Structure 1
Amino acid sequence: MPVAATNSESAMQQVLDNLGSLPNATGAAELDLIFLRGIMESPIVRSLAKAHERLEETKLEAVRDNNLELVQEILRDLAQLAEQSSTAAELARILQEPHFQSLLETHDSVASKTYETPPPSPGLDPTFSNQPVPPDAVRMVGIRKTAGEHLGVTFRVEGGELVIARILHGGMVAQQGLLHVGDIIKEVNGQPVGSDPRALQELLRSASGSVILKILPSYQEPHLPRQMQREAGPREVAGWVWGASCLERDGAQASCIFVKVFVKCHFDYDPGRDSLIPCKEAGLRFSAGDLLQIVNQDDANWWQACHVEGGSAGLIPSQLLEEKRKAFVKRDLELTPTSGTLCGSLSGKKKKRMMYLTTKNAEFDRHELLIYEEVARMPPFRRKTLVLIGAQGVGRRSLKNKLIMWDPDRYGTTVPYTSRRPKDSEREGQGYSFVSRGEMEADIRAGRYLEHGEYEGNLYGTRIDSIRGVVASGKVCVLDVNPQAVKVLRTAEFVPYVVFIEAPDFETLRAMNRAALESGVSTKQLTEADLRRTVEESSRIQRGYGHYFDLSLVNTNLERTFRELQAAMEKLRTEPQWVPVSWVY
């Protein structure tokens, strides 16, 4: 039974209105509800719902299939009135018009489903389709372009001929669909192209107006790119960045979904300085932190991508290729003859192998390969934790305390644990939680602490359960922790917003310390060594952990930095966010 579109839309809106009460009724996670809302609000899902309703609508049926007979009866009745009424005579003429009679005849044929099946077309000789393409089966392809405009193709030499190696997604050639991978280029504007790909690229780039290409078609069967996965599910939050496609093959319909992949880059890339890229002009420049959409991964070494803000697609090194370049190591044994040997015996150092240990976390961080990180776009939502990273003395704790004092109902923090004995004026849970050293050491070994350290013979640390407790209370847990702790927090459970509080330059930092002393805000005068240590530590943290940062703020003025932090947290509630794909799936 068909349902009106308005009823469907109101039903979907009713589901959206009731999403707010789902956590209490079902125990659903907040992130799952955000994902569900993104799907329900998706224009694509709404279009699919309307299409489903249209398919389920009852087909219209003809009221009758003998209208010609009915018209003949009407004409017989009109014959008696035609002499007396000019209107009846005019109606009789209209009903006897050949075009009107043909219309009624066609209607009756369709209504009664008396179709005439056309004779089947003679099948092709199967031996004919297996014949090789004759060498003179050429095509002339015309393209209009301006001088300097790139066509969006690359070439390779194959058997002494110039063959189209790849067609860049979104380029001129891809949009026109006149050329295909494997086509052989014979001439450009009547001029033979030879066998030099660079010369052909230069010829095409400098050409303007109408460009006529003489090609030998490849007649290759089109294949699905790697992103087109049969019966795959969407990889992005519906309504933001996903799409679908449907193909037919051998008479049967095959359902396919085009999976759009988005990545965050963790290195700078300049195709002009890359000696391995097939075509420098086809490369895509990007910087660390840029967001790219991967549109083609057919080539194991070179992907096609474009910036999410827009623009044409270009070539970028694949994850595999860039890993090989960054992780290149010498062989276990170098083929270097030692002096004094007759036949050049092999000598060399073996590669160091070590098992991963959490105590060696910093050591492994130095060897971590940062290439691309797959991300997903999410509707606006509140992060569960706010993590402030920075060098010692840069103002992290001051910002944390100001934020909690500004809105204590929205922000909270953990109470650190310690193994020292409480002082007479201290109370449990006010400033510290006190436990025995043995209990604390056991919990540290069990991995229950986010971070810990020892000072004057006493242990101090932050329990992971303390963070969970603040989040469960409905507040954003504000943490100022060591950079290594971000790797533990950066999960779907804590969904942190990581802010790097960057130290200003040396002179600015010295002026800030002097001003703090004069105003009475601080009583500790930092030496030049302390100031330089802060600047160097800040730079070191940025180099080693910059790929984890969602925002960087240079703390030249505490009040200004605090306002910038407030604005960033408010923006999370109103603007879409790019998050690691592991947080969504």
Structure 2
Amino acid sequence: PDCRSAPLLYFSQRDFEPTLPPIPDDVLEEDEDSVKIVSLVKAKDPLGATIKRDKSTGAIVVARIMRGGAADKSGLIHEGDELKEVNGISLEHRKPKEILTLLARSQGEVTFKIIPASSKEEMSSHKKLFMRALFDYDPNEDPTVPCKDAAVAFERGDVLQIVSMEDDTWWQACHLGDSNTRAGLIPSQQLHERWSFYTLAVRQPTSDVNGPSLSFPAGLRRSFRLGRKSSLAGEAAQSGRWSTGVHGSVCPPTYIEVIPYHRDPKDRHRLVVLVGPSGVGVTELKRRLLISNPDHYGVTVPHTTREKRSQENEGVDYHFVSIHMFEEDILNHRFVEYGRYRGHYYGTSLDSVHRVMSEGKVCLLDVHPNKIKHVYTAEFKPYVVFVKPPHIQEVRLTRRRAEFTCAEEDKNSVRIFSEEDFEDMINSAETMESQSGHLFDKVIVNGDIAVAFRELKAALEKVEKAEVQWIPAEWICSSPTKARRSCGHLDSWI
């Protein structure tokens, strides 16, 4: 943003200064506690404040108040205050540099309409709590709902505005944007978790209570074309049926708090993470996306410690590095995921993700769900797509003679699925969804690869075109440093 000084302002404090104007008629009585009118007068000295656009809401906010400046002495403007209007002109969708130009054209008295930071917090806590549903809910199929006519139906992915959480079992909510629709009942997080645990306990076989069976993580096997044996298999053995995941609590997927994100055209594209069990078709979907638009989509180049072969190119097939360098990057947490195969390391680094995104492309990343946590941050803003198999009868029909390209050394091999493979695919999908379902933005059932591809491509295009995207609140609010880095541009001096 343009940081050049606009004509600057003083608070009117003396009798011979212009008389403060009356409060505009369009400020309603019920807004008196949440909206403030401040009148200032231009002078030679600066106002002593900076502004920026909050990227999560699109609002223009006061970023800093300089001690001893006019704004500080007036006591009327504070850090975090949202500027709504200048001289009756709305600041909605305006950039800081446009506001500087607007102030430059103003003469004498300048009137600001402000939402104080304290009022914004109160409004947010009482009116602006949004949750994205992580399950489908139909009150007509719920025998426990107190009143079916008073309940709200929703689907996975819907954003709900929570109106009341006073009842421990039944919250009041409405669909986002349904301003004319009354609030209705939805099952609380506690209620749905309790029901999910009960359902799982009833149908869970005794042999699976202590955790999933030993297997190589599917995402790593697909990404690096490795075999089944891996030192990472122990991680799968040590994890329980329910994992703490990113949120650090043992719970099935219910709701996740979200906030609006207004993507600036200059911002990097969101990272796209594809996950799913082995054989479900994640690799094929990724391949089709790349073919459909190679200038728009890109993939990472993995790192390895094995020797480069004659037909391979550095930075195209792999990044070939020393064992010392690879292990140093492991210690510095520079890998999204990694493993060993036949004595050599293979891995996907965070740097390789950055390279694709810096080219202005949408980076397609294929990882195991328990590795998403390494990129589940405001920096990458991942859009996570879970690809799951259909019912086992359809799996048998569509996968029985499916051909999958194996390791590069054995390109002519054809994978024929066994009945055990089908069962493993279904069980693995259920485990992934139960453990990591709270991370999934989109779930696609791959019964027909052509249909699944069209659905995936349409979903990604919709996300890119959306003016407002809903992202987990924890990305912005989990730490002051992260919030400052993610919520706005550089400050503009006023």
Residue 464 in structure 1 maps to residue 350 in structure 2: yes
Q: Give the match for residue 370 of structure 2.
A: 484
Relative distance call for 1:293 and 1:57 in structure 2 (3 A) is farther
Offset at 1:229?
10
Aligned match for 2:305, one of 419, 441, 452: 419
**RMSD of aligned Cα (Å):** 4.5
8 Å Cα contact 2:60-2:84 kept in structure 1: no
Cα distance between partner residues in 1 of 2:418 and 2:190: 47
Aligned match for 1:373, one of 237, 249, 256: 256
Cα distance between partner residues in 2 of 1:555 and 1:316: 30
8 Å Cα contact 1:380-1:574 kept in structure 2: no
Cα distance between partner residues in 2 of 1:566 and 1:441: 37
Q: Secondary structure at the match of 1:365?
A: coil
Q: Secondary structure at the match of 1:484?
A: helix
Aligned match for 2:292, one of 373, 381, 406: 406
Offset at 1:385?
0.9
Q: Secondary structure at the match of 2:458?
A: helix
Relative distance call for 1:474 and 1:288 in structure 2 (3 A) is closer
8 Å Cα contact 1:38-1:378 kept in structure 2: no
Q: Give the match for residue 131 of structure 2.
A: 263
8 Å Cα contact 2:282-2:387 kept in structure 1: yes
Offset at 1:474?
1.4
Q: Give the match for residue 528 of structure 1.
A: 419
Cα distance between partner residues in 1 of 2:389 and 2:434: 13
Relative distance call for 1:455 and 1:318 in structure 2 (3 A) is same
Q: Which runs of 5+ in 1 are unaligned?
A: 3-27, 60-227, 236-243, 245-255, 329-357
Relative distance call for 1:478 and 1:315 in structure 2 (3 A) is same
Moved more, 454-463 or 437-446: 437-446
Cα distance between partner residues in 1 of 2:195 and 2:430: 25
The residue identity in structure 2 corresponding to 1:581 is A
Offset at 1:528?
2.3
8 Å Cα contact 1:390-1:500 kept in structure 2: yes
Q: What percentage of residue pairs aligned between the two structures are identical? A: 36
Residue 497 in structure 1 maps to residue 383 in structure 2: yes
Q: Give the match for residue 393 of structure 1.
A: 279
Q: Give the match for residue 188 of structure 1.
A: none
Offset at 1:284?
5.2
Offset at 1:485?
1.7
Q: What is the correspondence of 1:144-163 to structure 2 with a 5 Å cutoff?
A: none
Q: Secondary structure at the match of 2:318?
A: strand
Cα distance between partner residues in 2 of 1:230 and 1:414: 42
Q: Give the match for residue 196 of structure 1.
A: none
Cα distance between partner residues in 1 of 2:291 and 2:187: 48
Q: Give the match for residue 184 of structure 2.
A: 314
Q: Deviations over 1:121-168 (max 9, x none)?
A: xxxxxxxxxxxxxxxxxxxxxxxxxxxxxxxxxxxxxxxxxxxxxxxx
Q: What is the correspondence of 1:321-340 to structure 2 with a 5 Å cutoff?
A: none
Relative distance call for 1:285 and 1:467 in structure 2 (3 A) is same
Q: Deviations over 1:453-496 (max 9, x none)?
A: 22222221111121122212211111111011222222111111
Q: Secondary structure at the match of 1:312?
A: coil
Q: What is the correspondence of 1:99-178 to structure 2 with a 5 Å cutoff?
A: none
Aligned match for 2:429, one of 538, 543, 556: 538
Offset at 1:312?
2.0
Relative distance call for 1:480 and 1:321 in structure 2 (3 A) is closer
Q: Give the match for residue 471 of structure 2.
A: 579
8 Å Cα contact 1:389-1:481 kept in structure 2: yes
Residue 557 in structure 1 maps to residue 427 in structure 2: no
Cα distance between partner residues in 1 of 2:196 and 2:392: 33
Q: Secondary structure at the match of 2:464?
A: coil
The residue identity in structure 2 corresponding to 1:365 is S
Residue 231 in structure 1 maps to residue 123 in structure 2: no
Offset at 1:584?
4.5
User: Relative CO higher for 1 or 2, CA cutoff 8 Å, sep ≥ 6?
Assistant: 2
Relative distance call for 1:36 and 1:580 in structure 2 (3 A) is closer
Offset at 1:559?
3.0
Q: Deviations over 1:556-584 (max 9, x none)?
A: 33333222222222212323322112344
Q: What is the correspondence of 1:35-50 to structure 2 with a 5 Å cutoff?
A: 35=56, 37=58, 48-49=85-86
Q: Secondary structure at the match of 1:233?
A: helix
Cα distance between partner residues in 1 of 2:446 and 2:305: 34
Q: Deviations over 1:423-453 (max 9, x none)?
A: 2333322211222333323322331111112
Cα distance between partner residues in 1 of 2:393 and 2:107: 74
Offset at 1:389?
0.7
Q: Which runs of 5+ in 2 are unaligned?
A: 1-17, 22-50, 62-81, 91-105, 110-114, 199-233, 405-410, 478-494
Cα distance between partner residues in 1 of 2:331 and 2:402: 41
Q: What is the correspondence of 1:213-362 to structure 2 with a 5 Å cutoff?
A: 231-233=118-120, 259-266=127-134, 273-274=143-144, 289-297=157-165, 303-308=171-176, 310=178, 311-315=181-185, 362=239
Offset at 1:293?
1.1
Q: Which has the larger radius of gyration?
A: 1
Aligned match for 2:330, one of 435, 441, 444: 444
The residue identity in structure 2 corresponding to 1:233 is K
Relative distance call for 1:531 and 1:313 in structure 2 (3 A) is same
Offset at 1:526?
2.1
Q: Secondary structure at the match of 1:452?
A: strand
8 Å Cα contact 2:301-2:319 kept in structure 1: yes
Q: Deviations over 1:242-299 (max 9, x none)?
A: xx6xxxxxxxxxxx99641111234667696559x7x887665656544321223456
8 Å Cα contact 2:60-2:83 kept in structure 1: no
Q: Give the match for residue 432 of structure 1.
A: 318
Cα distance between partner residues in 2 of 1:506 and 1:521: 27
Relative distance call for 1:469 and 1:377 in structure 2 (3 A) is same
Aligned match for 2:270, one of 373, 384, 407: 384
Cα distance between partner residues in 2 of 1:327 and 1:514: 34
